[in-house]
Structure 1
């Protein structure tokens, strides 16, 4: 036969060959796509075959399993109560129907099966009990749950193998499973429930195994006592459950439980705290000391781990933190009346708590609970844990701080305060002069709670402590003894001063927001605030009636003063000249954050010498003048104002109400005939205007001001003073006094200390009431020390006041007329009465006054001083007049110079004057009898003497507006003395000639 050429088959199409030597692009792509498609088809076919094999395998396995389960079920049904039936039940797995059948049969006829103790049976019972537990946790309301619980209780109670079974279950999720079951119970629990009693019994079953108790109790705390509203869910069975709780063994639980992941959320910590508060307090007296100590420590750790305000009602978060000790009109931060920048703190997200949980937690800070706690902790070993507990409580729950602290202060007549200081604070390394800068050392963590709690306690005690008690040495049986002696207060206040200064002085402002080691959420800023508040209160007492030396409060040894002054001035200038516009008014905390030097000056100014602070104040004013382009009295922007001599106050109010008083003011007086008066324009006659204005507006007959027995002024508290036109006058007077401070003009007006405290944003104390109403003060002191039943005095939470012949009653708290004053709440009543009289009655007046004052004087400048120092800044220092200093800074005019005969005679005569006569002379010439604090170089304008006439029969006159004495040219010392004394004692008038 013929063989085809080139091996071609006879019927096969000959392959086409491209003799051109190349393939086209299209044919090449087709070949690649075809190869790819065939590969995909082969892979798909392989997957299909593999899937089919798996399906077949699974089906065969399922069929076999179904067959095995059918046989197992059949065997199980034939002999449920035998060991074989039990084994079949285990092999069947989580078969709810089989489990239910087994539990029912066992309970009805074969409970003995549960008591088997051979190893194989015990292993099977372990598996079955775990399966039953899962069934209950999945659905505690199922029809079979009661039988399951009964079986579990039988296995874990009267059973030879109960220890083995309990150990197995606890290590295999016993308590997490029960948590799941209990969490599904309704709230409140129904009165008739078939599962509550056995479920509550089961919760405590493993706790009866001694060697298992530590683990079981830990798991119970973490899984069960963290369930929200646990007592409400177990209510019908709550009594037996509570009795079986082994709270006496709490010391077996390590405190590192606080770091367990189960307590990672805020809510879990709060619910554990609430449940502990429900079950433990009724058993305080029966708890062994170790268990009680662990309970207190655990509660303290839980509270320390919570954000501040976490336990507060929503209405009190985060800014409604006022308590009765703060007052509902607290003046602690008077800056709130003006513009405030936002806080530097980031607010944490706080949980929403059920009202029942919140009510349960409210028992912790209640006076009854704190009293019970203190009575139960008489053992000295518990004092450190009580300190930690109470410090954590007042930190996390600020609105209840007064209830806790007030109860602790009053407990056993202050013995707790004394014990905390003498046992824990006195020997503390914190705040010592030689190591003040090491306070952030983590090794000192354990020393902080007692020191800070003592600061809180003593600050609270000072709210209602009179000076008679403060300085009491226990010799008078009718006056309680100060819990701390004056020597102890000196040591403690020095510790606080070193701590506060070190924390304000830290250059790294962000470190203030770091948490204190061992104190949970407490930050260094909180430590600084607590130390500062107590320190300020102690210094206020010392300022009014010294018990230390002036050097006690100074920290000049810790710094170079000249560097401090320059840095403070620079920092203030930077804060006063922000980029982009007007500087915001900052509160004390914000200033401390931005500027360490200003933080010291605004919070603990007494750490810096007074004369240094006055110099800094004058530099602040000078910087402000320069910033606004006013460096001299006759600077740019002088405002010229005409004032009628017989309408000084009204014209001043009308024409200076909206004028920028920081600019120079030129006053022109008009007499009663409408003629302008001639005057020496040393900046206008503004000083004379100011002196005359003060005489008018501070006249108590005008109705705006009242005077106490020391003739010190404070705003009138009656309703007339709170009307809009009166408040406008207070604002105007504040502006005018601000102008006097700004220009360094001394004003011969004395204000009551409690009113000056308002200028500085400070709290008024009970002892301030003595200067306002001595009778009321004595009555409150009597009530405080009254040994009988205060309810016999028939007092309630109201205050009566008389106005224009009518007496009206005001509630101190809501429904106060129906709340009697008792032994428990009398300190609150005393504080509220004092707060009402010292603060609330003059709240609007003080606010209006301060608004005007702060328009001229930056509030942070004023906060460099206390009340007494501010009075000196306003009216000069009440010290002997230094004639050498006065002569050194005296200017002469006309024919006079320092060598003129009359001037020589003048200084000889004045040198023979008594201090009272010298004050009268100074008042005659300058309108103020007190010299400036920093000497007569600060008198503005300087004291001056000018010749008046050669008529020696004329009396000397003065132009107080320019501090000018116009002295005739006397040639006899006797005549000069006689005329000068006659003039200053007869108050010879102002002379414009």
Structure 2
């Protein structure tokens, strides 16, 4: 018998073998592809066979199950009233028709069958499963005709059979239900009943079942605590729960919500159960509806638990989740208004971010309305009143966390929230926060930055940030006399009408100056690190506060630091070098890096991009420090950086500030008439690039050109004379306070188009002076200089503008009587051209009386109106011109006092050695010539006032330059004026030149020099 070769006759393809010993690359690739395809075909075939097997198995299973269910249904109907029927019902599973049929039978004969089932242990396991099926059926379709019948069975089974506690079987049944989603299913059933169907007969039964576990279990037990957690997690997240229930059910439910048993240990578990933003908002809204009336009666631990729970839920929400996206149409008394400067608008400053926001929940009108009660004055006062009687640290921490969380998730109401707290508590909470929680916290002590990001310190951040917000708000309506005194005092009523009482006690600064010094240093350490760390991310959040970025927390602390530093600048109280961070910064590399980073922020044409302080901080840590906490760097270093910025800007435009003009940018020549300097300057310099060199030619009263020394000197003379004209208060553009400090005239006349153009021109001219380093003998009011920095002024600045109004507002702030007796409203009276008109501070302000509760808002708004709004257009126009010359971020390196020094020089003793080292000589004079030696010897005997008079005589400004006389442009110079000793010295202030005759004796030189500088001897053009 012949045997076939392997595979022959088997229907399979014989394997082809190449005995040639070699193959081509193409054949090899084809063989591999063919093998791959055959493998894929085998895999696909196997998959199909396995799928077919599974489908067949599933079908057989389904067919068998259907047959078994049919048999179970038959058996059920034959034994519907006994345990056999119950077991068949459970095995059939969720069948609404069978469940309803069984429920009807169980309810027949006054539910006697149910009572028998509960007492028979043979029923217990199947009965628990049957009740779960009923709950699922009700939750799926609560408005079906059968749902009420099904729910009735559950209600009877869970209700006590007598007035005593539920039986063991009832307890066992309830425990089984709780373990298998009891509250989840009840919550789903209630939420699926439409709002318009609150008369549905099933709702009272559902509400009864919701509170049944609280009747069945004792409060101290773990199961009772678990029921509270499940109730808060699945019932109180139902949208508009109070609006879904009929009045009787609402009245039944409200007092039975176990707020008094809420414990701190339950808060994390509830928070972890409620993970959706919609559910969190609904929980907050429902708590706002049910809880406030219970605040006064809650025990301390329950109140602390409630505050911690609501705080944790709010912390997990995205910013603005609790407020509507559109502006509230109802008129409100707000701390910030539409005219607020962007740098001081916290609703803009705090929530801006480079990272995309989470989507905000969509809120219906009723939920929005309910949420509006949270930041209301009445609600906050009720919280403060309820917690005020408790000194327990747990509840105090919970209060601070709650207030901070509310102001964080609702930033547009932060000022109002903090204002209410300040009004209610005075300085008590500020003092308590600092001494009890912040002073000893590990944040900001020393240079170790690790505690700031350590999650173990999460509990220390809410008290710190709440204190920052609260003290920031308190400072808005705290005058300097209050700030610098922490002891009670009395304030007379002389500032107000006879309607006021004679005296009242003034509550001073809640923190002592020593405490403020320590606190500000603690804040400075934190803020400096947050600006300086180059690895910081815009998305990094404060430990334990997922909805608050470090960036936003930094801005709030920065604002407080700036406010405290401003007070210290006016009346120093901190030790020397308190604000400097030079121990953490190597100044040399810092300066070089800052100049380099600033150059990178400019486009190729030298125009600096407009960036916010936050954007600058994110791009450049050094510029972030200079723009936000500049006082951390020594003043002279910042002045040097400022001059470097200007020099780099000029170089990028082809100008040489020292050499006057540039290689390819010749000076712009402008002719002005004596006596018409301001008018000609305004008309001829409007379109001129003032960053370039300006060559001024004066025309005298006879129409002849004056001889002058060019190279910048004549322009300095022009600038000096121009300032004398434009800042003359008789012209109507400027007013002076009692310190002769200038500010824009608030009169409506000053807001006319032509006058706003003048403010813009004056801004450009002063910008030119700063750009060239020319000192101008003009002093501005501090609140106006604040506008240069993009800041607003508050009550503390009002005393320099209107002392009487300031005293009146201070009196109102501490008035012990009823403020309504003073008949004040939210409007101010202004008089122009003999006509008095009322200006509302808020919509319909003349109809809103000033009360004890809103007087701080009134004080803020009056100060804001007088210091900011009245001169807003004038200030904006001025700053627009100033910004043409000086980049705003360069100015932000200084405060108001430093800006005045930058503009007019430092009011410090004149250093003669420095002046002599930087003096140039002309004519027959040289450094060691006899007259020069006598000159320096005589001047060395002058008093400081006489030295300032000499400096003013020669340079037109009595104050020395910031960085010494090497920065005086042009340098101070002395030239001989001949040998006639009868002549007085003269000066060319335009070029800082003193013309000194060659006197032979010290006595003659002293007498003539004093006579000249004290009598303002004439200007000499020769």
> Does the TM-score normalized on the shorter chain lie above 0.5?
yes
Aligned equivalents of 1:827, 1:46: Cα separation in 2 = 79
2:589 is aligned, of 553, 559, 563, to: 563
- Structure 1 residues 198-209: aligned runs within 5 Å: 198-209=205-216
- Structure 1 residues 849-928: aligned runs within 5 Å: 849-928=878-957
Alpha-carbon shift at residue 966 of structure 1 (Å)? 1.8
CA 762–943 in structure 1, closer or farther in 2 if over 3 Å, else same: same
Residue 375 (str. 1) matches residue 404 (str. 2): no
Residue 796 (str. 1) matches residue 806 (str. 2): no
CA 335–258 in structure 1, closer or farther in 2 if over 3 Å, else same: closer
Alpha-carbon shift at residue 170 of structure 1 (Å)? 1.6
Alpha-carbon shift at residue 334 of structure 1 (Å)? 8.3
The aligned residue for residue 682 of structure 2 is 653
The aligned residue for residue 685 of structure 1 is 714
Contact (CA 8 Å) 1:796, 1:819: kept in 2 or not?
yes
- Structure 1 residues 59-78: aligned runs within 5 Å: 62=66, 65-66=69-70, 68-76=72-80
Partner of 1:176: helix, strand, or coil? helix
The aligned residue for residue 154 of structure 1 is 156
CA 538–248 in structure 1, closer or farther in 2 if over 3 Å, else same: same
Residue 503 (str. 1) matches residue 530 (str. 2): yes
Structure 1 residues 678-712: Cα deviation after superposition (integer angstroms, max 9, x where no partner): 10112251101111111111111111111111110
1:552 is aligned, of 569, 578, 589, to: 578
- Structure 1 residues 504-543: aligned runs within 5 Å: 504-509=531-536, 511-543=537-569
Of 636-645 and 764-773, deviating more is 636-645
The aligned residue for residue 20 of structure 2 is none
Contact (CA 8 Å) 2:713, 2:970: kept in 1 or not?
no
Partner of 2:987: helix, strand, or coil? strand
CA 930–323 in structure 1, closer or farther in 2 if over 3 Å, else same: farther
CA 613–65 in structure 1, closer or farther in 2 if over 3 Å, else same: closer
Residue 463 (str. 1) matches residue 476 (str. 2): yes
The aligned residue for residue 276 of structure 2 is 265
CA 61–771 in structure 1, closer or farther in 2 if over 3 Å, else same: closer
Residue 248 (str. 1) matches residue 260 (str. 2): yes
Contact (CA 8 Å) 2:763, 2:881: kept in 1 or not?
yes
- Structure 1 residues 36-51: aligned runs within 5 Å: none
Contact (CA 8 Å) 2:488, 2:507: kept in 1 or not?
no
Aligned equivalents of 1:163, 1:454: Cα separation in 2 = 49
Contact (CA 8 Å) 2:271, 2:313: kept in 1 or not?
no
- Structure 1 residues 158-177: aligned runs within 5 Å: 158-159=160-161, 160=167, 161-177=169-185
The aligned residue for residue 294 of structure 1 is 305
Partner of 2:126: helix, strand, or coil? helix
The aligned residue for residue 145 of structure 2 is 143
Aligned equivalents of 2:132, 2:62: Cα separation in 1 = 28
Alpha-carbon shift at residue 85 of structure 1 (Å)? 5.0
Aligned equivalents of 2:53, 2:286: Cα separation in 1 = 61
Aligned equivalents of 1:566, 1:619: Cα separation in 2 = 10
Unaligned runs of 5+ in 1: 1-39, 337-341
Contact (CA 8 Å) 1:474, 1:481: kept in 2 or not?
yes
Alpha-carbon shift at residue 822 of structure 1 (Å)? 0.8
Aligned equivalents of 1:756, 1:613: Cα separation in 2 = 18
Aligned equivalents of 1:898, 1:415: Cα separation in 2 = 66
1:440 is aligned, of 433, 453, 459, to: 453
The aligned residue for residue 966 of structure 1 is 995
Structure 1 residues 830-878: Cα deviation after superposition (integer angstroms, max 9, x where no partner): 0010001101111111111111111111111111110001000000111
Alpha-carbon shift at residue 222 of structure 1 (Å)? 1.9
Unaligned runs of 5+ in 2: 1-43, 162-166, 347-351, 491-504
The aligned residue for residue 5 of structure 1 is none
Alpha-carbon shift at residue 662 of structure 1 (Å)? 1.1
CA 387–48 in structure 1, closer or farther in 2 if over 3 Å, else same: closer
The aligned residue for residue 719 of structure 1 is 748
Alpha-carbon shift at residue 326 of structure 1 (Å)? 3.9
Partner of 1:439: helix, strand, or coil? helix
2:369 is aligned, of 351, 359, 370, to: 359
CA 69–609 in structure 1, closer or farther in 2 if over 3 Å, else same: same
- TM-score using structure 2 length: 0.87
1:615 is aligned, of 640, 658, 672, to: 640
1:778 is aligned, of 791, 802, 807, to: 807
Partner of 1:646: helix, strand, or coil? coil
Contact (CA 8 Å) 1:332, 1:763: kept in 2 or not?
no
- Structure 1 residues 559-958: aligned runs within 5 Å: 559-577=585-603, 582-631=607-656, 632-635=659-662, 636-637=664-665, 638-683=667-712, 685-958=714-987
The aligned residue for residue 10 of structure 1 is none
- TM-score using structure 1 length: 0.90
Partner of 2:453: helix, strand, or coil? coil
Alpha-carbon shift at residue 235 of structure 1 (Å)? 4.4
Aligned equivalents of 2:559, 2:871: Cα separation in 1 = 23
Aligned equivalents of 1:297, 1:599: Cα separation in 2 = 35
Alpha-carbon shift at residue 792 of structure 1 (Å)? 1.0
Partner of 1:600: helix, strand, or coil? helix
The aligned residue for residue 12 of structure 2 is none
Contact (CA 8 Å) 2:433, 2:467: kept in 1 or not?
yes
2:428 is aligned, of 415, 423, 429, to: 415
Contact (CA 8 Å) 1:323, 1:401: kept in 2 or not?
no
Aligned equivalents of 1:392, 1:44: Cα separation in 2 = 59
Partner of 2:301: helix, strand, or coil? helix
Alpha-carbon shift at residue 825 of structure 1 (Å)? 0.7
Give the length in aligned residue pairs: 939
Aligned equivalents of 1:63, 1:335: Cα separation in 2 = 73
Alpha-carbon shift at residue 910 of structure 1 (Å)? 2.4
Aligned equivalents of 1:227, 1:760: Cα separation in 2 = 49
Partner of 2:938: helix, strand, or coil? helix
Aligned equivalents of 1:68, 1:489: Cα separation in 2 = 81
Cα RMSD between the aligned structures?
A: 2.9
Aligned equivalents of 2:63, 2:52: Cα separation in 1 = 16
1:314 is aligned, of 294, 319, 325, to: 325
Alpha-carbon shift at residue 434 of structure 1 (Å)? 4.8
Partner of 2:374: helix, strand, or coil? coil
Partner of 2:304: helix, strand, or coil? helix
Alpha-carbon shift at residue 48 of structure 1 (Å)? 11
Aligned equivalents of 1:897, 1:575: Cα separation in 2 = 46
Structure 1 residues 542-600: Cα deviation after superposition (integer angstroms, max 9, x where no partner): 1111111231111111222222222222222222256x984412221111111111111
Partner of 1:220: helix, strand, or coil? helix
Aligned equivalents of 1:69, 1:280: Cα separation in 2 = 49
Alpha-carbon shift at residue 421 of structure 1 (Å)? 0.7
Contact (CA 8 Å) 2:948, 2:958: kept in 1 or not?
yes
Of 397-406 and 442-451, deviating more is 442-451
The aligned residue for residue 393 of structure 1 is 406
Aligned equivalents of 1:932, 1:277: Cα separation in 2 = 62
Structure 1 residues 42-70: Cα deviation after superposition (integer angstroms, max 9, x where no partner): x9999999999997996676456435524
The aligned residue for residue 114 of structure 2 is 114
Residue 222 (str. 1) matches residue 248 (str. 2): no
The aligned residue for residue 125 of structure 1 is 127
CA 48–457 in structure 1, closer or farther in 2 if over 3 Å, else same: closer
Partner of 2:837: helix, strand, or coil? strand
Contact (CA 8 Å) 1:309, 1:396: kept in 2 or not?
yes
Of 433-442 and 614-623, deviating more is 433-442
CA 410–73 in structure 1, closer or farther in 2 if over 3 Å, else same: same
Alpha-carbon shift at residue 786 of structure 1 (Å)? 0.3
Alpha-carbon shift at residue 372 of structure 1 (Å)? 1.6
Alpha-carbon shift at residue 919 of structure 1 (Å)? 1.6
Partner of 2:326: helix, strand, or coil? helix
Contact (CA 8 Å) 1:770, 1:777: kept in 2 or not?
yes
CA 917–65 in structure 1, closer or farther in 2 if over 3 Å, else same: closer
